[in-house]
């Protein structure tokens, strides 16, 4: 009798802990998506937001992940964190200063992947992501239909000026309260449904249409990764992603999702391992375009590829190794940014770890392959958006949810199927 009472009490206690951890994780995910919008509202209606308050808000979101991450500490995670920390210490000694931006950038994938791996409940993750997507679409529709009212509460332009990311002279759209890329210039024009949206590009809670497009690609990848038994859920996520891409007029999203659909129909089983070559193909393409088209310029796809390629070709040995302090922020040059910040060897080590993470099922194998495409493409046309918390948190949390839990950790040996894929039990 007493044993039954103790077992019941233990079960109830575990249920309470589980609910608490789920609530904390939902707060971290919703916070990672919404925090910029909340800060923008505060900046517009209460008090200008400073970089210090911005950083403190991100720290609160990180802290919400820690209780779940600390429930189980796999040796593989410890090893990866130790190697990355050692690398950053060596680079700091060589450069004579600590690159806090790089530390923050690498902390996001580690923390959210770790938390997602311990959460490991895909159905609950689906529900949380669905609620987040619903909020993003609702705010996006509010912005689209009531733009003047929206900008009355969310003065995006002034918010970024307060953070020091824009200068007041940069506002090329008279009386605009949107981010600079919130309106397509007449000479460029909208790509997706201009007769419906006009020149306005919706940004929703992300404040930037580029980030909304990136978020949509992640949601599409998550939906396409679903198997036949989850076809309805996957289809709804994919449709939502297409709606968001249209609202944001995301050309990157349009291309990326089209390629994801091709991958969904063309690749199966071990063929998904081909995706691990994507960053090297993209990097080689950047270098080739930079060498063969040095005259290419302009804020367009080929112009950005050429800029990135030319920057990489001008790298010194110190920049390649990460020992030299970068004099350039490499704003829209993703590969130049990550190599100069972390060093080529560290980048290769992290990619190796990414490729050999143990997935629990084919859903995870597919999502990781689609994430490989997302990472490879975004580094071609953008520098730091890969590390933006408002999209990166969900990206890595979902990958962590797909990871196998069998054994002692993320890198534990798993039973192998005849097709060579490593699967583990949920």
* Opening angle at CA 165, ends 160 and 168, nearest 5: 70
101 C-beta neighbours (distance < 10 Å), count: 12
Residues 404, 407, 412, 418, CA torsion sign: negative
In this prediction, residue 202 carries a pLDDT of 93
419 located within any domain: no
50 located within any domain: yes
In this prediction, residue 322 carries a pLDDT of 87
Chain mean position to CA 5? 45
C-alpha separations of 228 from 80, 221, 223, 233, 362 in Å? 34, 15, 11, 10, 11
- Specify whether the CB–CB gap between 50 and 306 falls below 8 A: no
Tens of pLDDT, residue by residue over 203-215, are 999 999 999 999 9
Distance separating alpha carbons of residues 87 and 83, to the nearest angstrom: 6
3 located within any domain: no
Distance separating alpha carbons of residues 34 and 393, to the nearest angstrom: 12
Which domain range does residue 200 map to? Answer: 17-401
Domain total in the chain: 1
CA atoms within 13 A on the CB side of 24: 21
In this prediction, residue 168 carries a pLDDT of 58
- pLDDT lower than 70: segments of the chain: 1-17, 166-176, 180, 185-187, 296-301, 405-426
Distance separating alpha carbons of residues 403 and 333, to the nearest angstrom: 30
In this prediction, residue 373 carries a pLDDT of 96
| Strand-pair partners of 200 | 183
426 located within any domain: no
Distance separating alpha carbons of residues 374 and 425, to the nearest angstrom: 27
Tens of pLDDT, residue by residue over 221-263, are 999 999 999 999 999 999 999 999 999 999 899 999 999 999 9
307 located within any domain: yes
424 located within any domain: no
412 located within any domain: no
Which residue from 63, 94, 72 is spatially nearest to 86, judged by alpha carbons?
94
253 located within any domain: yes
């Amino acid at each position: 009798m007493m044993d039954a009472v103790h077992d019941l009490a233990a079960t109830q206690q575990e249920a309470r802990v589980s609910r608490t951890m789920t609530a904390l994780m939902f707060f971290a995910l919703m916070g990672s998506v919404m925090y910029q919008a909340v800060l923008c509202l505060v900046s517009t209606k209460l008090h200008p937001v400073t970089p210090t308050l911005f950083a403190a808000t991100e720290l609160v979101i990180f802290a919400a992940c820690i209780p779940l991450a600390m429930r189980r500490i796999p040796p593989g995670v410890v090893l990866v964190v130790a190697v990355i920390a050692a690398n950053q210490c060596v680079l700091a000694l060589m450069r004579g200063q600590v690159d806090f931006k790089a530390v923050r950038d690498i902390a996001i994938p580690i923390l959210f992947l770790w938390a997602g791996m311990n959460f490991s409940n895909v159905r609950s993750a689906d529900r949380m992501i669905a609620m987040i997507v619903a909020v993003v679409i609702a705010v996006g529709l509010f912005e689209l239909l009531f733009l003047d009212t929206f900008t009355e509460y969310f003065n995006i332009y002034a918010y970024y000026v307060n953070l020091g990311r824009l200068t007041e002279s940069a506002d090329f759209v008279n009386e605009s309260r949107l981010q600079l890329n919130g309106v397509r210039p007449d000479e460029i024009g909208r790509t997706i449904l201009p007769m419906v949206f006009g020149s306005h590009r919706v940004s929703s809670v992300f404040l930037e249409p580029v980030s909304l497009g990136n978020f949509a690609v992640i949601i599409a990848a998550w939906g396409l990764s679903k198997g036949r038994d989850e076809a309805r859920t996957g289809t709804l996520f994919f449709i939502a992603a297409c709606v968001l891409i249209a609202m944001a007029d995301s050309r990157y999203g349009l291309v990326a999702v089209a390629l994801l659909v091709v991958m969904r129909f063309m690749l199966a089983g071990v063929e998904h391992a081909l995706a691990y070559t994507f960053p090297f193909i993209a990097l080689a393409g950047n270098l080739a375009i930079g060498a063969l088209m040095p005259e290419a310029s302009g804020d367009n796809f080929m112009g950005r590829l050429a800029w990135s390629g030319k920057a990489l070709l001008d790298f010194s040995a110190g920049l390649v190794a990460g020992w030299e302090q970068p004099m350039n922020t490499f704003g829209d040059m993703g590969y130049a940014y990550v190599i100069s910040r972390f060093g080529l060897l560290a980048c290769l080590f992290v990619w190796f770890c990414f490729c050999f993470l143990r997935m629990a099922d084919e859903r995870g194998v597919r999502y990781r392959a689609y994430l490989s495409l997302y990472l490879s493409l975004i580094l071609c046309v953008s520098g730091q958006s890969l590390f933006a918390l408002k999209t990166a948190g969900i990206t890595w949390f979902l990958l962590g949810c797909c990871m196998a839990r069998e054994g002692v950790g993320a890198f534990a040996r798993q039973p192998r199927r005849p097709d060579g894929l490593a699967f583990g039990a949920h």
